[in-house]
A and B are shown apart, each in its own frame.
Chain A
Amino acid sequence: MQWIPEYKGDVPRVERFNFLSRFTHWGHTVTFLLCLFTGLALFLDSADWLAAIFGGFHGAGLVHRIAAVAMTIVVAIFVVGNFKVLIAWIKDILRFGLNDIIFIMKFPFEFLGFKVKIPPQTKFNGGEKGNSMLTPTAVIFLILSGYIMWFPAIFPAGLVRLAYPIHDISMVLATFMVCMHGYLGSFHPGSGESFWGMWKGTVREDWAEHHHKTWYDETYGDKASGE
Chain B
Amino acid sequence: MARMTNLYDVSKCTACRGCQVACKDWNQLPAVIEPFTGNYQTHESTNGDTYTIIKFMEHEDPVDGIQWNFLKFNCMHCFDPACMDVCPQEAITQTEWGAVIKDYDKCIGCQYCTYACPFEIPKYRKREDIVTKCTLCYERVEEGLEPACARTCPTGALTFGERDQLLQVAEERVKFLRANGFPRATIYGKLELGGLNKLFVLTDTPDKFELPIDPKVPGQITFWQDWIQPYFGWLIPVALAGSAVSFVTTRILANKNGDHTEGGHE
Which of A19-27, A70-78, A90-98, A108-116 lies at the interface? A108-116
Which of B9-17, B50-58, B61-69, B242-250 lies at the interface? B242-250
Contacts of A107 in B (CB 8 A): 265
Contacts of A177 in B (CB 8 A): 239
Contacts of B168 in A (CB 8 A): none
Given A113-B254, A176-B238, A188-B266, decide whether A158 and B246 contact each other with a Cβ distance below 8 A: no
Is the pair B235, A189 in contact by a Cβ cutoff of 8 Å?
Answer: no
Residue B233 is within 8 A (CB to CB) of chain A in the complex? yes
Is the pair B111, A110 in contact by a Cβ cutoff of 8 Å?
Answer: no
Contacts of B254 in A (CB 8 A): 113, 189
User: What 15 new A-B contacts, CB under 8 Å, besides A1-B251, A42-B108, A61-B110?
Assistant: A61-B108, A61-B109, A103-B265, A118-B265, A149-B111, A161-B115, A161-B220, A168-B229, A169-B228, A172-B235, A176-B238, A176-B239, A179-B240, A188-B243, A189-B251
Is the pair B228, A168 in contact by a Cβ cutoff of 8 Å?
Answer: yes
Is the pair B228, A113 in contact by a Cβ cutoff of 8 Å?
Answer: no
| Closest beta carbon of chain B to A46's beta carbon, Å | 5
Given A165-B228, A176-B239, A179-B240, decide whether A125 and B89 contact each other with a Cβ distance below 8 A: no
Enumerate the 7 nearest inter-chain pairs by beta-carbon distance, A residue then B residue, closest first: A113-B250, A190-B264, A191-B266, A179-B239, A113-B253, A183-B243, A194-B266
Residue B218 is within 8 A (CB to CB) of chain A in the complex? yes
How many chain B residues touch the partner (CB < 8 A)?
44
Is the pair B218, A46 in contact by a Cβ cutoff of 8 Å?
Answer: no
- Nearest residue in A to B253 (C-beta to C-beta)? A113
For B266, give its contact among A112, A175, A185 (CB under 8 Å): A185
Contacts A/B (CB < 8 Å), 27 sampled:
A5-B262, A110-B263, A111-B246, A112-B253, A113-B251, A113-B263, A114-B253, A115-B264, A121-B265, A128-B266, A152-B114, A161-B220, A164-B112, A164-B224, A168-B229, A172-B233, A175-B236, A187-B243, A187-B247, A188-B246, A188-B266, A189-B250, A189-B251, A189-B262, A190-B262, A194-B266, A207-B262
Residue B139 is within 8 A (CB to CB) of chain A in the complex? no
Chain A residues within CB distance 8 Å of chain B = 1, 5, 42-46, 57-58, 61, 103, 107, 110-116, 118, 121, 125, 128, 149, 152, 157-158, 160-162, 164-165, 168-169, 172-173, 175-177, 179-180, 182-185, 187-192, 194, 207, 211
Contacts of A176 in B (CB 8 A): 235-236, 238-239
| Closest beta carbon of chain B to A179's beta carbon, Å | 4
For A46, give its contact among B89, B242, B257 (CB under 8 Å): B89
Residue B88 is within 8 A (CB to CB) of chain A in the complex? yes
Q: How far is the CA of A121 from the CA of B236 in the complex (A)?
A: 28
Chain B residues within CB distance 8 Å of chain A = 88-90, 108-112, 114-116, 120, 129, 218, 220-221, 223-224, 228-229, 232-233, 235-236, 238-240, 242-243, 245-247, 249-254, 257, 262-266
Contacts of B251 in A (CB 8 A): 1, 113, 189
- Nearest residue in B to A5 (C-beta to C-beta)? B262
For A189, give its contact among B220, B245, B263 (CB under 8 Å): B263
Contacts of A128 in B (CB 8 A): 266
Is the pair A173, B263 in contact by a Cβ cutoff of 8 Å?
Answer: no
Contacts of B249 in A (CB 8 A): 112-113
Is the pair B220, A43 in contact by a Cβ cutoff of 8 Å?
Answer: no
Q: How far is the CA of A175 from the CA of B88 in the complex (A)?
A: 20
- Nearest residue in A to B87 (C-beta to C-beta)? A46
- Nearest residue in B to A118 (C-beta to C-beta)? B265
Contacts of B262 in A (CB 8 A): 5, 189-190, 192, 207
Q: How far is the CA of A89 from the CA of B263 in the complex (A)?
A: 25
For B111, give its contact among A57, A58, A152 (CB under 8 Å): A152
Q: How far is the CA of A216 from the CA of B35 in the complex (A)?
A: 67
Is the pair A165, B110 in contact by a Cβ cutoff of 8 Å?
Answer: no
Is the pair A161, B265 in contact by a Cβ cutoff of 8 Å?
Answer: no
For A42, give its contact among B88, B240, B250, B263 (CB under 8 Å): B88
Contacts of B243 in A (CB 8 A): 179-180, 182-183, 187-188
Contacts of A149 in B (CB 8 A): 111
Q: How far is the CA of A177 from the CA of B266 in the complex (A)?
A: 14
Contacts of B235 in A (CB 8 A): 172-173, 175-176
Is the pair A43, B223 in contact by a Cβ cutoff of 8 Å?
Answer: no
Is the pair B232, A169 in contact by a Cβ cutoff of 8 Å?
Answer: yes
Contacts of A5 in B (CB 8 A): 262
